[in-house]
C-alpha cells in the first residue's frame, strides 16, 4: 500500500538562528504551523511525489508569545486562534474576536496558527478580513544570506488584489500587531463556508469611528476566498465626514462604488452568487451602522 511513498524531511528549529540555518539549507521550504490547511488538501500526504522539506515554526518560543503595551497588542505567528480568544473581549478588538469565533470549532481553532491562516498562498479566510480592516501590521522576517532582517508593513500590502500572498521564498510573517484604538462600530459577516465552497463564499468586515453622528474614519474589507481581496480606498474617502444614519440613496451609492471596484479587479469572470452576496453583505453592514447610531442617541 505504501510502496513508493516518500515522507518529507521535517526541520524543527527552536530559535530564530536555527530557523535561518534551516532555510539556508532548503531550496523550496514549506513553512508549517498547525497544519490545518496543508493537511486538509486532497492528496497532500501520504503521496509518492513529496519532495518538499517542511520547516516547523511552532516550536520557536519567540513566535509563541503574546505581548501588549499602551498602544497595541502583538502576537507571534505560532499563537493559535483559541489562545487569542482567551485574551478576552476587553483586550482583543471586537471585530477580530468575532472573526475568530466564526472560524471553526474550539478544537479546530486550537490548531490553527495566526501565521498559518495569514500565509495560505492562494486562499484568504475570515481572520485576514478582520485584520486588514483594523489596519493591522505584520512583521516580515527575511533570512537571505543566513541573516535575519525584519520590517513592519500593513497586512494589506502582503496580498495582491486577487488575494494571492506576496512573500519571497526566504520570508515569513513572524508577528502581528493590532492597535488598541477602539472602533466605534464594527461588523463582521460571512456568507457560505470559505473552505468548503470557496467559489461561492463572501467575507466582509467593516469598522467605523464616529463622533456625534459624524463619521471620522471608515474601513471595509471584502474577500472572495480565492479571487478577491478588496479594501476600497474610495469608500473610506467618501464616508469620512458623512452624517449618520445613512439614507437609502447613500447606501445604494456605497454598494455601487464597491461593486464597480470589484469588477475592475476581477472582471466579468465572477460567480453571480458572489456578486449578489457581496451586495447584501455591504447593505447589511451599513444598516447595522445606522441601527447603532440611532440607538446611541
What CATH number is associated with residue 99? 3.30.465.10
Residue 167 shares a structural domain with residue 285: no
CATH number of the structural domain spanning residue 267: 3.30.390.50
Residue 135 shares a structural domain with residue 195: no
Residue-level pLDDT, tens digit, the chain, 297 residues: 445 455 678 889 999 999 999 988 888 888 888 877 766 666 555 555 555 788 999 999 999 999 999 999 999 999 999 999 999 888 999 999 999 999 989 999 999 999 999 999 899 999 999 999 999 999 999 988 667 789 999 999 999 999 999 998 889 999 999 999 889 999 999 999 998 899 999 999 999 999 999 999 999 999 999 999 999 999 999 999 999 999 999 999 999 999 999 999 988 788 999 999 999 999 999 999 999 999 987
pLDDT at 2: 45
Residue 167 shares a structural domain with residue 66: yes
- Bridge partners (DSSP) listed for residue 211: 214
Residue 251 shares a structural domain with residue 288: yes
Residue 141 shares a structural domain with residue 84: yes
Residue 28 shares a structural domain with residue 162: yes
Residue 176 shares a structural domain with residue 209: no
Exposure letters 77-94 (e unless 16+ CB within 10 A, then b): bbbbbbbbbebeeeebbb
Pairing mode, if any, of strands 149-154 and 66-68? unpaired
Alpha helix positions (H), 134-247: 233-239
Predicted TM-score of the model (pTM): 0.92
Alpha helix positions (H), 88-160: 94-101, 106-109, 114-118, 126-133
Pairing mode, if any, of strands 29-32 and 66-68? unpaired
Last residue of a domain, one of 158, 182, 206: 182
C-alpha cell at 163: 488575494
Cα separation values, 65 from 42, 80, 282, Å:
32, 10, 35
User: Closest Cα partner for 80 from 123, 130, 115, 125?
Assistant: 115
Residue 166 shares a structural domain with residue 112: yes
CA distance 187 to 285: 6
Last residue of a domain, one of 132, 159, 182: 182
C-alpha cell at 251: 447606501
Structural element, H or E, at residue 260: helix 248-266
Residue 73 shares a structural domain with residue 32: yes
Last residue of a domain, one of 133, 167, 182: 182
Residue 111 shares a structural domain with residue 91: yes
Range of the domain at 134: 1-182
Is omega for the bond preceding 133 within 30 degrees of 0, making it cis? no
C-alpha cell at 63: 513566535
Residue 213 shares a structural domain with residue 267: yes
Residue 279 shares a structural domain with residue 164: no
Pairing mode, if any, of strands 137-142 and 53-56? unpaired
CA distance 196 to 287: 28
pLDDT at 51: 58
Structural domains counted in the chain: 2
Amino acid at each position: 500500500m505504501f510502496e513508493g511513498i516518500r515522507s518529507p524531511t521535517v526541520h524543527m528549529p527552536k530559535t530564530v538562528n536555527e530557523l535561518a540555518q534551516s532555510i539556508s539549507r532548503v531550496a523550496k521550504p514549506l513553512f508549517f504551523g498547525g497544519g490545518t490547511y496543508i493537511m486538509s488538501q486532497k492528496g497532500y500526504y501520504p503521496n509518492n511525489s513529496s519532495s518538499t522539506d517542511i520547516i516547523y515554526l511552532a516550536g520557536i518560543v519567540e513566535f509563541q508569545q503574546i505581548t501588549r503595551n499602551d498602544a497595541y497588542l502583538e502576537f507571534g505567528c505560532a499563537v493559535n486562534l483559541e489562545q487569542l480568544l482567551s485574551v478576552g473581549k476587553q483586550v482583543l478588538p471586537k471585530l477580530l474576536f468575532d472573526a475568530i469565533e466564526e472560524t471553526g470549532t474550539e478544537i479546530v481553532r486550537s490548531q490553527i496558527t495566526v501565521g498559518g491562516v495569514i500565509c495560505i498562498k492562494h486562499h484568504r479566510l475570515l481572520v485576514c478580513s478582520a485584520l486588514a480592516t483594523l489596519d493591522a501590521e505584520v512583521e516580515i522576517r527575511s533570512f537571505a544570506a543566513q541573516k535575519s532582517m525584519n520590517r513592519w508593513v500593513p497586512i494589506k500590502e502582503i496580498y495582491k488584489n486577487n488575494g494571492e500572498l506576496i512573500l519571497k521564498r526566504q520570508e515569513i510573517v513572524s508577528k502581528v500587531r493590532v492597535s488598541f484604538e477602539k472602533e466605534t462600530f464594527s461588523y463582521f459577516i460571512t456568507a457560505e463556508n470559505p473552505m468548503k465552497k470557496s467559489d461561492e463564499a463572501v467575507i466582509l468586515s467593516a469598522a467605523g469611528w464616529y463622533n456625534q453622528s459624524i463619521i471620522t474614519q471608515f474601513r471595509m474589507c471584502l474577500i472572495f476566498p480565492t479571487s478577491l481581496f478588496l479594501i476600497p480606498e474610495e469608500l473610506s474617502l467618501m464616508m469620512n465626514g458623512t452624517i449618520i444614519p445613512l439614507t437609502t440613496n447613500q447606501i445604494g451609492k456605497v454598494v455601487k462604488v464597491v461593486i464597480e471596484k470589484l469588477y475592475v479587479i476581477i472582471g466579468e469572470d465572477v460567480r453571480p452568487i458572489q456578486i449578489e452576496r457581496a451586495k447584501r453583505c455591504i447593505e447589511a453592514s451599513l444598516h447595522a451602522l445606522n441601527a447603532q447610531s440611532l440607538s446611541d442617541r
